[in-house]
Amino acid sequence: MAVRLVIGLGLTVLTLVLAGWRVDRLYALISSGQPDHSRTADLGARLRTQLTEVFGQRRLLKWTIPGLAHFFTFWGFVILLTVYIEAYGALFNEHFAIPLIGHWAVLGFLQDVIALAVLASIIAFAIMRVRQDPERRQRSSRFYGSHTGGAWLILLMIFNVIWTMFLFRGTAVNAGDFPYLTGAFVSRGVGALLAPLGPGINQPLETAALLAHIGVMLAFLMIVLYSKHLHIFVAPINVAAKRMPKALGPLLPMESRGKPIDFEDPDEDDIFGRGKIEDFTWKGMLDFATCTECGRCQSQCPAWNTGKPLSPKLVIMDLRDHLFAKAPYLLGDQQVPEDMEAIDVLALAASNGHVPESGFGRVPGSGPEQAVRPLVGTAEVGGVIDPDVLWSCTTCGACVEQCPVDIEHVDHIVDMRRYQVMIESEFPSELGTLFRNLENKGNPWGQNQSARMDWAKGLDFEVPQLAEETLPDDVEYLFWIGCAGAFDDNARRTVRAVAELLHRADVNYVVLGDGETCNGDPARRSGNEFLFQMLAQQNVEVLNGIFDGRPPGRRKIVTTCPHCFNTLGREYPQLDGHYEVVHHTQLLNQLVRQGKLTPVASGPAEDGPAVTYHDPCYLGRHNEVYSPPRELVGASGAQLTEMPRHADRSMCCGAGGARMWMEERIGKRVNEDRVDEAIGTQASAIATGCPFCRVMLTDGLTAREAEGTAGKTTEVIDVAQLLLASVKRADPAPPAEAE
């Protein structure tokens, strides 16, 4: 009794000392990040998120089988804590039982059942690992680039927890020390198997099993603290500190040292974006430490799936590994070398210790080279994140949507872009043209403002244009046309259709005409926050003047562009621009429901044309508008045929993140990959609700038509055009001409 008490407590104290040192170092490292004061607001919502995402495992359960396996494993850790309470109690008293519930048969039954569920779960995990073996499947495996050896070790340790638990409990049954007379059927079954060994074997075996069970747990604790499975402890904290309701939609305003940057008069020492690992906030560093390397983000990334070097998982892993490697310099244990030129990063960058897409592995170790290597840079300079990785991102948000631990990949990528653009002036050359057009002409196309109303020419009704400083009282909506609607031929067809539908429904609206300027989305997503601020402040000043005197609820804007929808509605409040912004599919769907628009099918519902709908990222994932456009497709008389990747798992068109304005030189074109998926549905048309998606999908379809592989798919069309065609079927037939 005394021997096992000394051994058990001695191992525990030693482990707790080592674990405490590691926890203190991790806390100090993450706390060294820049301040972020926005992570404690709305405590009620954060508590609900803990209940649903941590205890309910909601995000993990989006993938059914892996989700269930993780659900049972998580709850196994929770419930089997009671077994460890019993184990430590047994060090002091062989007959120990948890007060009040220690002899309750239900608890014994629950402990055994959850242990079996955990065992089944680790078998499922093992099968998944084998089927997704990155050595065999390479980039098509979501575990490509993950540290698979550590994952197998963790599965082994969980298995060790289970078998030592049952061995301890089975021998306790035979020693007469087991607290559950009924309920714990597996433990008693193990006891029955061991009973023939007799008391002489079972009693010392109980001590050995008890110490093994405790020892496995202590070893497991140390492995977790020094591995990617650190997420077991930090994930609940990361979930609690997440952006609410999620890290999609608006980008965060730029801050330096926890304070908003005044772009009209910035401080000399303000930090613009992230140029070094220490420029990230503590929440960013917590994100890096939380990554589970599960690869869900990687499996959904449009850039990765079309042969680009960007993997959201590898970006976070590279930042994490660089953070930990640079930790001695960040925590003051070592001094950053003064003679940086004496460190030959180029020589160290000659080989990559991990997969080619991983930038961290270019410079191994945690020596002074980690303190001086650039955060973003090519292999030749030993950059942690390669520029091709950084600029491949479409900011579609698929990574954020799928991440089970609420890592904010898009925010970190855009923050690194901000530093590259505003401090280093390092960005794809095509963006220079975009920036000049936005700054000089107020639109990405570089067209003259005088052409902003050309889209309305030839309509058989007059488009009402604002002629006063403020909206007339009887006007309900400001129709924001956007740059695409004004200057792109395909997008013009969309805004013409919407204008005609609003006219038919007797909706009182006006347009600004040449009073509009680009909302700034392409500038902000490409990292030029200064240019975004200039454009946005100009628009906010105009809009606040237009809506002057109108209370909340009457400051309504409708737009056909999801990027305008997101920026006007969710980013302009950062600049004191507060408006009720709706997407045209939302408003049109409301008008159909109210009977103000009456679509007429071309024939029986089953004979309607097959149409597949492409979810724009900034309408769907970023703003969760999924149903209205689909309902309009159905109302128009078409048969909706979904693509395999749709709704929150929709594939990006390739235009977001200012990629619309950059050449795509690596891998397969994203838009062609998406069009191939649409063609596979055998639909006659691809419907969408975004002018940029329409451009990209039209280009992709044109390429496939030239190759003769377009199949039955013949056009890309906006949902508004489908609706207008069906509404026009109710028009009276024109009178026959006299012969």
What backbone torsions phi and psi does residue 477 show, to the nearest 5 degrees?
-125, 145
CB 653 within 8 A of CB 616: yes
The token pair that represents 436 in the structure block: 């000049």
Is residue 317 situated within a structural domain?
Answer: yes
State pTM to two decimals: 0.94
- Do 67 and 196 belong together in one domain? yes
Count how many domains the chain has: 4
- 100 — alpha (psi -120 to 50), left (phi > 0) or beta? left
DSSP at 385 = B
Burial 88-117 (b: 16+ CB within 10 A, else e): bbbbeebebbeeeebeeeebbbbbbbbbeb
CB 579 within 8 A of CB 614: no
Q: What is the dihedral of CA 74, 79, 85, 87, to 10 degrees?
A: -80
CA 301-518-270 angle, to 5 degrees, is 75
Task: Say how many C-beta atoms besides its own lie within 10 A of residue 435's C-beta.
Answer: 21
Is residue 198 situated within a structural domain?
Answer: yes
Q: What is the dihedral of CA 636, 642, 647, 650, to 10 degrees?
A: -120
Domain boundary (226, 251, 286) is at: 226
pLDDT at 227: 86
Distances in Å between the Cα of 322 and the Cα atoms of 260, 314, 345, 657 are 27, 12, 14, 25
Q: Look up tokens 């061995």; give the residue.
A: 167
Listed in order, strand segments (DSSP E) in 315-468 are none
CATH code for the domain of 346: 1.10.1060
What single-letter amino acid sits at 650?
Answer: S
Q: Look up tokens 């009457």; give the residue.
A: 554
- Do 584 and 603 belong together in one domain? no
pLDDT at 228: 79
Distances in Å between the Cα of 538 and the Cα atoms of 364, 516, 572, 581 are 48, 10, 11, 18
pLDDT at 411: 98
Decide: helix, strand or coil at residue 77: helix
Residue spans of alpha helices (H) in 407-525: 409-419, 429-441, 482-487, 489-504, 521-525
Distances in Å between the Cα of 403 and the Cα atoms of 54, 299, 685 are 13, 11, 32
- Do 209 and 113 belong together in one domain? yes
- Do 275 and 188 belong together in one domain? no
The token pair that represents 276 in the structure block: 């070094």
pLDDT at 593: 96
Is residue 257 situated within a structural domain?
Answer: no
Please tell me the distance from the alpha carbon of residue 426 to that of residue 311, in angstroms, as a whole number.
21
pLDDT at 229: 87
The token pair that represents 124 in the structure block: 């499922």
| Closest to 388 (Cα-Cα) out of 398, 380, 378, 397 | 378
385 bridge partner residues: 376
- Do 711 and 577 belong together in one domain? no
- Do 364 and 475 belong together in one domain? no
- Do 297 and 405 belong together in one domain? yes
CA 387-299-702 angle, to 5 degrees, is 75
Domain boundary (398, 427, 456) is at: 427
Decide: helix, strand or coil at residue 317: helix
Is residue 724 situated within a structural domain?
Answer: yes
The token pair that represents 319 in the structure block: 């930042």
Is residue 244 situated within a structural domain?
Answer: no
Please tell me the distance from the alpha carbon of residue 298 to that of residue 310, in angstroms, as a whole number.
9
Please tell me the distance from the alpha carbon of residue 417 to that of residue 364, in angstroms, as a whole number.
24
Q: Look up tokens 């059927």; give the residue.
A: 185
- Do 143 and 71 belong together in one domain? yes
Low-confidence ranges of the chain (pLDDT < 70): 338-353, 603, 605-606, 734-739
Domain extent, residue 338, equals 270-427
Please tell me the distance from the alpha carbon of residue 236 to that of residue 239, in angstroms, as a whole number.
5
pLDDT at 336: 79
- Do 668 and 610 belong together in one domain? yes
- 369 — alpha (psi -120 to 50), left (phi > 0) or beta? alpha
Please tell me the distance from the alpha carbon of residue 73 to that of residue 78, in angstroms, as a whole number.
9
pLDDT at 363: 85
Q: Does the bond joining 309 to the residue before it have cis omega, within 30 degrees of 0? A: no
What single-letter amino acid sits at 371?
Answer: A
CATH code for the domain of 587: 3.40.50
- Do 358 and 480 belong together in one domain? no
Distance of CA 184 to the CA centre of its chain: 42
Is residue 248 situated within a structural domain?
Answer: no
- 52 — alpha (psi -120 to 50), left (phi > 0) or beta? alpha
pLDDT at 346: 59
Question: Pairing between strand 556-559 and 477-480?
Answer: parallel
Domain boundary (543, 574, 592) is at: 592
Please tell me the distance from the alpha carbon of residue 696 to that of residue 614, in angstroms, as a whole number.
11
H and E: helices and strands count for the chain: 29, 10
Please tell me the distance from the alpha carbon of residue 10 to that of residue 18, in angstroms, as a whole number.
13
Is residue 736 situated within a structural domain?
Answer: no
| Closest to 516 (Cα-Cα) out of 455, 571, 457 | 455
CB 529 within 8 A of CB 586: no
- Do 453 and 491 belong together in one domain? yes
- Do 367 and 464 belong together in one domain? no
Is residue 251 situated within a structural domain?
Answer: no
Q: Look up tokens 């974006």; give the residue.
A: 273
Q: Look up tokens 């049952």; give the residue.
A: 166
Q: Look up tokens 């997440």; give the residue.
A: 242
pLDDT at 670: 98
CB 374 within 8 A of CB 384: yes
